[in-house]
Chains A and B, each alone.
Chain A
């Protein structure tokens, strides 16, 4: 940990300094939302069942390519600045530990399949009985009710159902699967907006509440225009490759080297002239443009192929033409803009060494975010939380561990 002597239990700076969060979320969508709390000063206690730890601890990439519960970079990136405690949630007596944490918390967050929290006696009605002003966030793939609510699934199913997968790829082929799990990255933004709005309401009125959302439904916001157009005109918009109506050039073109590509776009005649000048073949491009989009794209591709992708991007930027190298992950770690913006945060972890964690996409001018320390090892902060938050002495902690409740 790189705490410089500060207690991980009590952060003094950041928008959420003093906010207390009991975090039961797992996988990606939930932890990405609560990371925005911990990286902005909240005390976030991640409660994990040591018999069934967060499943993405078992998802790679693993340090040295060797699987291990504390070795996943996938898990690490979503858990900066969070405290981790390990509890046997399958033991009904675990409520002895959980109940005081609920009393302590301002926010309880979870992302289980609907029914799991209720089984533990931790549904919203039960939480409210313990802590009347608590704000509970429940985020699940399909939502808390409806015919599919208990159906298991991952973000890959989510992005298919939300329509994002179907909008990706070539019109003459099967839809191409977008990398990742789009509902895992879109839904946290909506979950966080709703959660913070609920905290604002609580700040003004003292009233807590339950915020419940379906990750797939939040992701359908990306298709709101297409849904409106479909109803208003009967036209069903679908994937269009990399073309876009209304643009003169809108595509992805080859550059020098293995799998080097650049996205180029010319919407206005000025941009078109500037691009033609950069590529130094105005006549050939004009002739190809007159022939149609296939000929135009072939001609642009021929012109870009000998270019170094980054040099071409720089030339386009100089000329005011929108251009973007199709960055590989390795490029992102070396990206000038990210470096200037301090996007990556090097954090040290006892088993994983120092890795660069992704910081947020926003910057607060006066209350900067701070990725204070690396992701917790399973149960890393169990004793600290029991002593520092619940006020248990060593004998009590030993007794809880003796009974198999603590990991």
Chain B
């Protein structure tokens, strides 16, 4: 492991997970915790989830590899009485357990949790669930996409002439995992100070609601249910549509040049855009016909918005995404590339800050860079990536340290 001291050095975490629990374990491992995966013989099912990548060990899940590097693995059949006993003894040496509903049923969580907490009253037992604890909703079937819907975010995404559309990423599961990491650490902070452990449960539906920002207030205060829009939408409580997604020579940018809500930064951003357009011979009078970002913006006609949009669109189409961003940074124009995966990988701001760290995994023939340096902690830097474990790689070493019966 990394030699430098880390914030969670000496903290032991057990993880029984599919995706969400692995993300929680990922955050804790990045912060320096020893994270031990407890898996069935042959490894947890999520190791083989689609889409996979070919490695020297066979086809392995891309998501599994991305979130499980630098952890340890113990294989243990927790469904047997003997396995439960061993699990409880392991819990006596741990500080935090994280688990999720795609790996364990509620009944399994109850069985394991009861034994674990009896063995270690200071333990933080963390569960990531679709709706959280409490009958009867804790048993409803749910998946990431159905939770994007139930949390109110899906309704707001997509083009008006097609059904609402999901984000093509398991955003709820990953945010549920990150939320679980922070909640587990809060509970561990309490345990550290008082010796009192407890159960913490996370609702992915509630995590999704937190991505809405102001929608539940907009309903209560204005009786307004916002409507989705793809590239063109009514922002906030606007009565008019504005374009927010623009095609460049080689991709797309996000940009709200007009009608975006006011403020000095938006006014200056628009002035800088118009200056640039003028340099290039784009000087249609519509560009300066209205107070596009001032107090008057709410009273401009849709026809005028459409007219100014057409002129700006023609200009943006003459530029590459890179040209646009370079000038934007120089002149404080409030636009941003809509990055593809390759765009994220190559982003020069991320590169300059060292977000990406190398994962060399010779046993798998895998050498990649991961966005693992997501924070800078001045006294206790985040851990750098190390290879993910083979199933049971650490069983002997970890269980040997706890002789049978010594802790019970």
Contact = CB atoms under 8 A, between A and B. Distances in A.
Contact of A203 (B189, B205, B263, B338): B189
B221 A73 contact: yes
Given A355-B220, A355-B221, A167 B167 contact: yes
Interface string A151-191: 11110111011111111111001111111111011100111
A200 B188 CA distance: 8
Contact of A222 (B132, B163, B171, B206): B171
B221 A62 contact: yes
**In terms of DSSP, what is the predominant structure of the interface of chain B?**
mixed
A329 interface: yes
Contacts of B200: 362-365
A216 B336 CA distance: 12
Contact of A236 (B187, B342, B368): B342
Q: Which of A210, A329, A338 has the most CB of B within 10 A?
A: A329
Contacts of A358: 209-210, 216
B254 A207 contact: no
B38 interface: no
A31 to B, nearest CB: 11
Contacts of A367: 187, 190, 196, 198
B392 interface: no
A271 to B, nearest CB: 8
Interface in A128-150: 142-149
B209 A343 contact: yes
Nearest to B380: A201
Contacts of A233: 53-54
Nearest to A199: B189
A232 B141 contact: no
Nearest to A254: B163
A232 B151 contact: no
B203 interface: yes
26 contacts: A15-B186, A16-B186, A59-B214, A65-B237, A74-B214, A147-B348, A147-B349, A161-B339, A175-B252, A176-B230, A176-B231, A178-B157, A185-B213, A194-B31, A198-B7, A201-B379, A204-B192, A209-B377, A221-B178, A227-B344, A238-B168, A329-B225, A332-B151, A341-B131, A356-B220, A361-B202
A210 B109 CA distance: 37
A169 B230 contact: yes
Contacts of B196: 366-367
B113 to A, nearest CB: 11
B207 interface: yes
B35 to A, nearest CB: 13
Interface string A35-78: 01000100000000000000100111111010000000110110
A92 interface: no
Given A201-B380, A250-B145, A157 B254 contact: yes
Contacts of B205: 337-338
A232 B67 CA distance: 15
Interface stretch (B75-83, B84-92, B282-290, B326-334): B326-334
Given A61-B217, A146-B352, A225-B63, A341 B203 contact: yes
Given A166-B339, A236-B341, A337-B131, 18 more contacts: A15-B190, A16-B189, A74-B213, A161-B349, A182-B211, A194-B375, A194-B377, A197-B8, A210-B377, A227-B344, A232-B62, A242-B166, A320-B141, A324-B149, A327-B152, A329-B215, A336-B137, A364-B200
A92 B316 CA distance: 43
Nearest to A148: B349
A146 B374 contact: no
B236 interface: yes
- Chain A residues touching B, majority SS: mixed
A177 B230 contact: yes
* Category for how many chain B residues contact A: 35 or more
Contacts of B159: 169-170, 173, 176
B312 interface: no
A263 B376 contact: no
A129 B183 CA distance: 31
Contacts, number: 523
B217 A77 contact: yes
B261 A165 contact: no
Interface residues on A, range: 35 or more
Interface in A196-232: 196-201, 203-204, 207-214, 216-218, 220-232
B242 to A, nearest CB: 11
Nearest to A153: B334
A144 B355 CA distance: 13
A191 B237 CA distance: 30
A220 to B, nearest CB: 4
B216 A211 contact: no
B241 interface: no
Contacts of B210: 32, 185, 358, 361
B154 A239 contact: no
Nearest to B155: A326
Contact of B245 (A15, A174, A179): A174
B376 A364 contact: no
B379 A209 contact: yes
B277 interface: no
Identify the 3 closest CB pairs spanning chains A and B, nearest first. A73-B217, A324-B146, A179-B156
Interface in B339-398: 339-345, 347-350, 352-353, 355, 366, 368-380
Contacts of A2: none
A233 B372 CA distance: 20
Contact of B340 (A163, A178, A259, A329): A163
A361 B167 contact: no
B56 to A, nearest CB: 12
A170 B168 CA distance: 10
A244 interface: yes
Interface in B82-106: none
Contacts of A331: 152
B257 to A, nearest CB: 13
A101 interface: no
A220 B57 CA distance: 27
A404 interface: no
